Chain A
Amino acid sequence: MSSLFEEIREPVASDVPVRRVSITVNGEKRTADVEPRLLLAHLLRQGLGLTGTHTGCDTSNCGACTVLFDGKAIKSCTMLAVQADGHEVTTVEGLAGPSELHPIQEGFKDEHGLQCGFCTPGMMLAAKALLDENPDPTEDEVRWALSGNLCRCTGYQNIVKSVLWAAQKLQSQSAS
């Protein structure tokens, strides 16, 4: 895991306490030795190579770094990697099945829910947290649930449509 320390451009003193963490990421148990100050977003991106989690603002505002932490949407730039020890994390890489996209991803594709795509992973995970809790949301409820995720491109209209599309698809799947 030396790459985690190279990213932090300060000499690593020999007495820096490194902690071993064990995190279930997208269903798979991963272990890493981390400095306590390492952010979860950086562990995911640099340590585990899961670069689908984006860091946009790095100031806890934009939601691009959103992942699911024990099923709840959190900003991974605002959590320490050590805090995830023993917990479950889902990133955008964990959405698709082996051969097909997740209905939320299909929805974003079908309804043109992205332009540059930078906000998209965070949007999709916030949407997943919503649909897990409320499978049949109204448009207002979708807007409310995504209100912590900023998009500089789309004007949100198609993102909301994408999530509503996914909700319908997921419901028809569970009905059949």
Chain B
Amino acid sequence: MSIVVYVEQSAGKIKKTSLEAVSYGFALAAKTGEGEVIAVALGSLAADELAAIGEAGAAKVLHISDERLNAGVIQAHASAVAQAFESTGATTLILAKSSLGDAVAARLAIKLHAGLVSNVVELPRLEGGFVVKRSIYTGKAFADTTITTSKKILAIKKNAVDQKLDGTKAKVESFSATISESDFASKITATERATGEVLLPEADIVVSGGRGMKGPENWGMLVDLANTLGAATGCSKPVSDIGWRPHHEHVGQTGVKVAPTLYIAIGISGAIQHLAGVNSSKCIVVINKDPEAPFFKAADYGIVGDAFEIVPQLTAALKAAY
């Protein structure tokens, strides 16, 4: 039996987190010995972009080209994906955790009567039931969760598996879904999106600043460092509360939860609520002038000193090394 993966696009490009979900599906299919991965992609997408989903592990792509689906209209996406999923006879649906993915997955769970687990961090165990490991308490613990329904939906956390890059082009088929007008009743009237930047929830490297940066006028050096690394910029909650940085950059318990390979925290004290958003990072670097800052306890590497001196030096050292 096949495994279906719902992939998201942003402005005509398949999102990287979705490609990771495809690779998760591929690894799961290998583990269960079950068939192939079928990706379901929505909205206007070029033929090349669709076929390239194969490189991450999909054998086939069902493309629902209805251009009303270019935008993330939650109910319409849920209806379209449900129909594509049912057409394949598959029992497992995978998707990447995201703002749209979560909302669509929840509706799909009811439509398909499928058990849903979110924040999945590794491949399921299959002995003694279908047991999925999920991150809970905002990264402070894990739970083994047993899905008891025959249909299953897994919303995958970033970095649950490595993205596969060496697959072959996928076969693309068009699929037509019947979506009722009422699914489009709520209108997206405008979208504001940072352009040309690495998106924080998807970034492999994050450069994050706290109140120790003293003011928004000092963010230039963090942006320089981020650009040098191809990183996204983040911040602590007070920084976005005061309006130094936009809300979508706020990292932590009540903000974005990131899972980069490298998180660089500059002038952030490391309050437990901030750490809750970064504890899934592979490597944490802390720059803080206070040697007693709690963040050092959660860090892999640290420099005690003044950010205003260290950050420009770090940027220069990186530029020199590459």
Partners in one complex: no
